[in-house]
Homo-oligomer: A and B are copies of this chain.
């Protein structure tokens, strides 16, 4: 597998997908101290209301941003793939207004705020690079808002699967048109604002239409063109530098 990549390299790879970095900047990032940890699925990484002193980088697995209503229902508002730094914002917005949790078994790395701040002072363009990361996060939120507000469940799911595949490919993961996705339908339902019962029905429909194949731990895209069409997906909001890497423009 791709276990040979170091946390720092993964982060660099991710940053380079939307930023251009000089050799010195890359080196500085490579020198950042990262403390690695493993988590089971369904664990909180950072809780809402906390004031973290570290940023978190996803090294393997999937994590998510979520918030709860007062009556306990959960909305997942972002899903992270390896390389993502989900809480860069904590550098400048001390109070967490959301929770960060693992959606699958995860390997994460912790980088002290101090270390990041020092690197940003030395290389101001790294400040911009990190800022850009947070801006792309916001762009993805906007896209999810469109997804939740204006599309029915069937399209929402297709749309997110497109997004995930593109983002995984952007960091060199996701072979062919399939990717590991060991995530519960109950969790996914919370990302789409539907119930797990309906999630199951939507998955069935997507299978029945031969758009995707779903196993417990893996998603295979059968018809990428049609999945994009059904999901009304256009990757430009991801602001990838090489935004011409649609996974297999075939079919």
Could you tell me which A residues sit within 8 Å of B by CB distance?
65, 67, 69-71, 73-75, 77, 89, 92-93, 95, 97-98, 124, 127-128, 131-132, 134-139, 141-146, 148-151, 192-193, 232, 236-237, 239
B-side contacts of A98, CB under 8 Å: 139, 142
Asked if residues A75 and B236 are in contact (CB atoms below 8 Å), the reply is no
The distance in angstroms between the C-alpha atoms of A192 and B149, with both chains bound, is 7
- Copies held by the complex: 2
Which 8 pairs across A and B sit closest by C-beta, in order of nearness?
A: A149-B193, A141-B141, A75-B149, A138-B138, A97-B237, A77-B145, A75-B146, A148-B148
Q: What residues of chain B lie closer than 8 Å to A148, measured between beta carbons?
A: 145, 148-149, 193
Chain B nearest CB from A51 CB (Å) reads 12
Which chain B residues lie closer than 8 Å to A93 at the CB level?
Answer: 132, 135-136, 139, 239
Q: A67-B146, A92-B131, A131-B131 are in contact. List 10 more A-B contacts (CB 8 A).
A: A67-B142, A69-B150, A73-B150, A75-B149, A89-B139, A93-B139, A95-B239, A97-B236, A127-B127, A148-B149
